[in-house]
């Protein structure tokens, strides 16, 4: 059984923050050897990007989550000797990932053309904020800003609300996934032709692609904008009852359900009558959702779940993390793992993909800055790095 299909491949992670390192993380989870090249001393800026005051072995939990199973090679890319060492690694590498602002990597002498001259078989992946040229190219490629200009932030929330960002770094993570998709495709092609490839995407492309379903509707609907529901909006294009509703003790998510079925189960004759009106779920969406909300507040979530699921109505309780983690369903997925760096321990997620029924754990926690520099230089036949 092959649980590490990329074993034997070498990935160089020259990226910082989230998008590029998340792509390298996924490749490492699939068995590739990942060497993270970062500046001596301070390392990746993400090491000090704290989401809370939790510190593990001198680094943020965010850094630990996204850089597990990597080796750290400290190199100043403006130093001739260090750059020579990085080029020696490039000569052996299968994949290089970078997310510098457009033009920066070229000025450092590690743009695609320069790297391809060293290693024509390399798969070179770059992530920008908004593409490599154009009026936005030099703007900071940051997740919240990409959400803002993409339309996704405007699409969320109820009518009358201001823009609502997703509470996750969604553009960063999606861009990382797209890079993995492109890298794997290029590696397959390389196996056929022997040629490397240049893979490019951006935060904006990633989050626009996330919206391809609804954006396609807009592009082919005379440019009409969708109308967000004024009450409990969950999807601007979907009819009532689609939304999230308060119950007596929590919240319940309701997906696409025929109004007559829901009216019968909730003992709401008005809903049954409305089901007979053409397109009532759209034309009277807010009215219908307010009626359903009033009814669902009268009983606990568990009661409604039992009733609705008995007739295959698509619904789910809204869980916080403690309730999700305590659930049997989540436990059966076996998605958590504990790793150690020295005396410090971190509990984090595991690879979200099973191969031949196996979900392989990571072999190592995120490294300290330059933890593997000496060993890698010895492997390359280079002298130890001089003190700076």
| Distance (Å, whole) CA 176 – CA 28 | 13
Look at the alpha carbons of 206, 212, 216, 217 in this order and tell me if their dihedral is positive or negative: negative
Q: In the structure encoding, which two tokens stand for residue 187, read together?
A: 């590696």
Residue among 82, 172, 209, 221 flagged as catalytic? 172
The Cα–Cα gap between 242 and 132 comes to 39
Q: How many CB atoms lie within 10 A of CB 256?
A: 12
99 vs 17: CA distance, rounded Å: 9
| β-bridge mates for residue 97, sequence order | 13, 125
Residue 385: how many other CB atoms lie within 10 Å: 20
Dist CA 110 CA 83 (whole Å): 9
Is residue 172 part of the annotated active site? The answer reads yes
CA proximity to 289, closest of 307, 268, 312: 268
Among candidate residues 304, 284, 166, 151, the one with its CA nearest the CA of residue 229: 284
Helical residues (DSSP H) of the chain, grouped into ranges: 19-29, 61-66, 80-92, 104-107, 112-118, 143-150, 152-155, 170-193, 203-210, 212-219, 259-265, 269-274, 280-283, 285-296, 301-309, 321-326, 328-333, 373-380
Q: How far is CA 224 from CA 207, 242, 311, in A?
A: 20, 21, 36
Catalytic residues: 172
């Amino acid at each position: 059984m092959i649980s590490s299909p990329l074993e034997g491949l070498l990935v160089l992670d020259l990226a910082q923050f989230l998008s590029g390192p998340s792509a390298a993380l996924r490749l490492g989870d699939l068995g590739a050897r990942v060497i993270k090249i970062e500046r001596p001393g301070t390392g990746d800026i993400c090491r000090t990007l704290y989401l809370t005051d939790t510190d593990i072995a001198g680094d943020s939990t965010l850094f630990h989550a996204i850089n597990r199973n990597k080796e750290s090679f400290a190199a100043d890319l403006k130093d001739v000797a260090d750059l020579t060492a990085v080029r020696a690694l490039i000569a052996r590498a299968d994949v290089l990932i970078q997310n510098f602002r457009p033009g920066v990597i070229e000025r450092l002498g590690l743009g695609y053309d320069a790297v391809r001259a060293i290693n024509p078989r390399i798969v070179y992946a770059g992530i920008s904020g908004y593409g490599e040229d154009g009026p936005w190219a030099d703007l900071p490629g940051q997740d919240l800003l990409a959400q803002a200009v993409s339309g996704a932030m405007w699409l969320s929330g109820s009518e009358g609300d201001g823009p609502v960002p997703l509470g996750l770094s969604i553009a960063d993570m999606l861009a990382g996934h797209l890079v993995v998709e492109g890298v794997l495709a290029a590696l397959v092609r390389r196996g056929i032709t022997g040629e490397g490839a240049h893979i490019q995407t951006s935060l904006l492309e990633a989050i626009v692609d996330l919206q391809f379903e609804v954006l396609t509707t807009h592009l082919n609907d005379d440019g009409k904008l969708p109308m967000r529901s004024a009450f409990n909006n969950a999807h601007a294009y979907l009819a009532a009852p689609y939304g999230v509703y308060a119950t007596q003790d929590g919240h319940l998510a309701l997906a696409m359900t025929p109004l007559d079925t829901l009216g019968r189960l909730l003992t709401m004759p008005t809903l049954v009558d409305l089901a007979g009106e053409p397109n009532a779920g759209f034309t009277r969406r807010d009215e219908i959702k307010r009626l359903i909300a009033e009814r669902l507040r009268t009983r606990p979530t568990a009661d409604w779940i039992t009733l609705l699921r008995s007739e295959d109505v698509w619904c789910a309780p809204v869980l916080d993390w403690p309730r999700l983690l305590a659930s049997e369903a989540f436990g059966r997925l076996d998605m958590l793992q504990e790793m150690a760096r020295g005396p410090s321990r971190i509990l984090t997620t595991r690879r979200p993909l099973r191969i031949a029924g196996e979900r392989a754990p990571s072999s190592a926690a995120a490294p300290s800055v330059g933890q593997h520099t000496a060993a890698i230089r010895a492997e390359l036949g280079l002298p130890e790095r001089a003190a700076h």
